Structures are given as structure tokens and as C-alpha cells.
Amino acid sequence: MGNITFIHVHGLWIKEGKIDCEFRDAQSEKILELLHGFNNIIIGDLNYHDRMHALAILEQKTTNINTLFNITNTRSSLYKKYPKQADYVLTTGVIPLHLATLDYSGSDHLPLQFTFAYNKE
């Protein structure tokens, strides 16, 4: 049976907001070092937005599932700032079947529901 590695990340928060900086680029490089084999799922609040260089670093070796399923808002109505994207699912090897945000007002982040298949070899 194949293995799947789940990597949960809460990314660097800085007071200036979601901006590119050397620390975030280094964070993305470190995340890539954690990948094992073929079936990896990186999920969490990266504190990135979709135009950041730090996200582009991750996308060089992973598939951005948010982009694939057009998920552009991962924040609930409790979050009043922009951008509304903070949480991501990025993968290697797994076959994405579905990604959606779930309606939930208990947090400023919406839960993500991700369904996938994977290579069992």
C-alpha cells in the first residue's frame, strides 16, 4: 500500500500583512524539503495570497488545488480584511477529486474539504 504524507503548516505572520519577503521564501523552501516520495498533501494557513513569490516557489514542485478548483476565499464573514485567501491545499502525486470550503462561522477561517485518490504503489 502506498503512503501519503500530510504536512500541516501555519505560515509566518508578519504585521505588514501578506507581502513577499525573504522569510516567506525561505519558509516555502523549507516546506519543499519536507516532501517525501510521491504522495504529499500540504494543507494549512500559509498566510500567502495567490500572487506571492513564496507561493510560486511551492507551485514549482506541487499542484495548487485551490487554483484547480477556483477556491479564492478561505475566510468566513468574521474576517473583514483583504485578501480573503489564506488557507491552501497543495499536493504531489495524489489525484484531486474535489475541494470546497464549508459554511462555518466559528472561526475567521473556513474549513476546507478535500477529496482525493492516490497511487497505492
Considering only residues 19 and 39, tell me which one the structure prediction assigns the higher pLDDT: 39
Indicate the average pLDDT of the chain: 93
CATH of the domain at 22: 3.60.10.10
The range of the structural domain enclosing residue 16 comes to: 5-117
pLDDT of residue 100: 98
Please give the model's pTM, rounded to 2 decimal places. 0.93
pLDDT of residue 1: 54
Concatenated DSSP letters for 41-93?
A: EEEEE----TT-HHHHHHHTTSEEHHHHTT----B-TT--SS----EEEEEES
| Number of separate domains in the chain | 1
Interstrand relation of 95-101 and 5-8 (parallel, antiparallel or unpaired) = unpaired
* Residue 71 in this model has a pLDDT that exceeds 90: yes
Angstrom CA distances, 76 to 6, 18, 48, stand at 24, 18, 17
Query: By percentage, how much of the chain surpasses pLDDT 90?
Result: 76
